[in-house]
Amino acid sequence: MTQPGIFGLGTPEHCYLEFSLHQDASAADMVKAVAGLSDPLSTGGGVNLVVGFRPELWAQVAPDELPPDVRSFTEPIIGTDGFQMPATQRDAWVWVAGGDRTAVFNNSRNVIAALVDIASVASEVTGWGYEHNRDLTGFIDGTENPSLLVAPNVAVVGAGGPGAGSSVLLFQQWRHDSDAFQALPVEEQERVIGRTKADSVELGEDVMPATSHVSRTVVEEDGEELKIFRRNTAYGAATEHGTMFVGFSREQRVLDIMLRRMAGAYDDGLRDELTRYSTPVSGAYYLIPSVAALSRFAPEDED
């Protein structure tokens, strides 16, 4: 069973925590501490909790539960025009999502307190749902997301191999230059994104730029589009803000190809026009273990 919070749509408040392991603590210490968090495997206490680990750290404690070719984000992606996507890999990731800020705040503090002897907080970002389903550009986000009936086939490693029931997460923080983007005429904004702003209709082939965000983020093989499952949110305040990219896939290579196409570091060398108005400030991959795999490290219930 996959951690259900991945598919827990509708939560408006979010907190993303990344942790660095203390020098005197082990990978096993980290996994046991995270697995012992209060109700990390299901919806409860007013929040959803999803947890993940640096792939190599998880491999130390569960080598048979790591899907093939999953690795950390340790080197920046170098694109065209000097553009870079930074690598800011940490050891563990915890996502707290809920219906109100109080519940998310209290539970996030509880998570930090539970891990204080094992790891320190390396980054903390709070997010929220902006205008229901739009990002801070004003465009609808996740139009191409698969439905919840299909999403597990996209986001979850299938049965029969290492890491069955797990998911690969790409986690990035993107800071927007909203003033520059909003200064563009709406028609030009639409050419940057590749969709209409009002109703998110994809532009026709005759007007769709090859550098549009849609053009660069679509990954195809043998004529078939390889999809991912996005759970993005807005973050920040009026003066500094952007998008938290939270993308799940059954294969890391799909995420990697998408990033390289955006940066202009793949095939045709074209760079995503949206990266002229949005700058990545972090980047990490995490393995999100299945419920069964994580449960093996949870403390036994006390009578």
Identify the DSSP state of 273.
Answer: G
- For residues 80 and 267, the model is more confident at 80
Domain assignment of residue 301, yes or no = no
CB atoms within 10 A of CB 80: 12
Cα 3 vs. chain centroid, distance in angstroms? 14
The answer to whether position 300 is within a domain reads no
Residue 303 lies in a domain: no
Tell me whether residue 149 is exposed, middle or buried, using C-beta atoms within 10 angstroms of its C-beta: 0 to 12, 13 to 18, 19 or more: exposed
Supply the pLDDT for residue 38. 61
Query: In this structure, is residue 183 part of a structural domain?
Result: yes
Measured distance CA(168)–CA(176) in Å, rounded: 25
Do the beta carbons of residue 173 and residue 282 sit within 8 Å? yes
Asked whether residue 302 is assigned to any structural domain, the reply reads no
Q: Is residue 156 included in any domain, yes or no? A: yes
What is the pLDDT at residue 167?
A: 98
Residues 6+ apart with CB under 8 A from 107: 45, 46, 47, 49, 96, 98
pLDDT band at 223 (very low <50, low <70, confident <90, very high): confident
Does a structural domain hold residue 270? yes
Look up the domain containing 96 and give its range. 4-295
Residues 6+ apart with CB under 8 A from 160: none
- Ranking 39-53, 145-159, 184-198, 257-271 by mean pLDDT, the lowest is 39-53
Task: Judge whether 231 lies within some domain.
Answer: yes
Q: Which residues pair with 93 in a beta bridge?
A: 18, 52
Q: At what angle do helices 101-115 and 27-35 cross, to 10 degrees?
A: 140
Residue 104, token pair as written in the block: 């998310």
Q: What tens digit of pLDDT does each residue of 92-117 get?
A: 999 999 999 999 999 999 999 999 99
pTM: 0.95
Which uninterrupted H or E stretch holds 279?
strand 278-280
Residue 19 CB-half CA count within 13 A: 29
Q: What's the structural domain count of the chain?
A: 1
